[in-house]
Amino acid sequence: MKHRLLAQYPLALPGYQYLSILHESDNAIILLANNPSGSPVVIKRFKFDASHLPQDLINEFILESKALGLFAHRGLVQPLDAGIASGALYMIMEYVQGVTLRRHLATIGTPPLAQALQWFEEITLALGVIHGIGLLHQDLKTSNIIVRHDQSLALLDFGLEIRLLIASGFLREDEIYCTPYYISPERIIGDPPDERTDLYALGVILYELLVGHKPYESNTLSELLKKHAVAPIPRLPDNLSVYQPLIKGLLAKFPENRLQSANLVVRLLQEISQRVNAGSSIS
């Protein structure tokens, strides 16, 4: 499979040894490789022909990749480099060993409350870093989060390539680029995304971590989208009701009614935790 895909989508990076294909999507292949010094890295090689893209768009992608890489935040899979080779655009990222949060939850079920809240805070802080440099994630979901062996988390895919996918024809301007289980109501009707769009997906993840399933589920896409758009915000079980303000603030149907930033989400989480801890000490 590796040889077939590399023959179809070549990428000549001197000194890099390609080890295996980690994933293939409609628009990219993800390779595990050793860099020239022998350390493992992950390379995302886009399938579209970069020669047809505006140079300023390519330069913007490379600059944003390198800017995000400067933060070296543990909650983000760090971009290491980006460029063009063999007519293809690529991004080199650190190799983070672990499994996706989606797979981890499928294995362990609903995590203990303390673990769920710690994970939620880690995800929120990492999302705040992305938003802090003017980027959106646009595809936040449990399958884009890696659980390391020490149980810490790292976010994958930072929405850097959205404009490239549109310019290359892989994505229409009005096409929704996300997973239906995590889509915000405003994206369903075609409104442009902003930070609050990511925060809606964060709310879905919080509900999933606390309860063990997603807030809205359906066997059909149309019914699922309808639930996101008009169904009431689900209530948490009584033993978790103290966290309902977070769910309400993240899953509000209208962006203006949501918590407006990752920083505000963390602040509310800390306030709730302080009340919970104060109540425990009194009792």
Residue type, 62: I
Decide if 156 contacts 145 (C-beta within 8 A).
yes
pLDDT at 277: 84
Which residues partner with 29 through β-bridges?
A: 24, 45
Which is it for the CA torsion 221, 222, 224, 225, positive or negative?
Answer: positive
At 211-224, the pLDDT tens digits run 999 999 998 999 99
pLDDT at 175: 47
The fold of the 99-282 domain, in CATH, is: Transferase(Phosphotransferase); domain 1 (1.10.510)
Residues known to be catalytic: 139
At 167-206, the pLDDT tens digits run 555 555 444 555 789 999 999 988 888 999 999 999 999 9
- Tokens at residue 108, please? 């362990």
CA dihedral defined by 204, 206, 127, 137, rounded to 10 degrees?
Answer: -20
Between residues 194 and 72, the one the model is more confident about: 194
Q: Bin 15: left if φ > 0, else alpha if -120 < ψ < 50, else beta.
A: left
At 37-57, the pLDDT tens digits run 999 999 998 887 777 777 877
pLDDT at 52: 74
Rounded average pLDDT over 136-148: 90
pLDDT of 29 strictly over 50: yes
pLDDT at 177: 52
E-state strands within the chain: 17-24, 28-34, 40-46, 79-85, 88-94, 99-100, 145-147, 153-155
pLDDT of 3 strictly over 50: yes
pLDDT of 141 strictly over 60: yes
Decide if 88 contacts 82 (C-beta within 8 A).
no
Closest to 275 in 3D by CA, of 251, 233, 246: 246
- Domain spans, the chain: 2-94, 99-282
Q: H or E element: which one contains 208?
A: helix 195-211
- Tokens at residue 23, please? 């994933």
pLDDT at 174: 45
CB-based burial label for 176 (10 Å; 0-12, 13-18, 19+): middle
Going by pLDDT thresholds of 50, 70 and 90, the confidence category of residue 232 is very high
CA dihedral defined by 21, 25, 92, 169, rounded to 10 degrees?
Answer: 140
At 92-118, the pLDDT tens digits run 989 998 999 999 999 999 999 999 999
The fold of the 2-94 domain, in CATH, is: Phosphorylase Kinase; domain 1 (3.30.200)
pLDDT at 83: 85
Going by pLDDT thresholds of 50, 70 and 90, the confidence category of residue 163 is low
Residue 248's alpha-carbon distances to 176, 212, 225, 252, in angstroms, are 24, 18, 18, 6
CB-based burial label for 198 (10 Å; 0-12, 13-18, 19+): buried
Poorest-confidence range of 110-114, 136-140, 197-201, 235-239?
136-140
Residue 233's alpha-carbon distances to 206, 252, 266, in angstroms, are 13, 7, 20
Mean pLDDT of the chain: 86
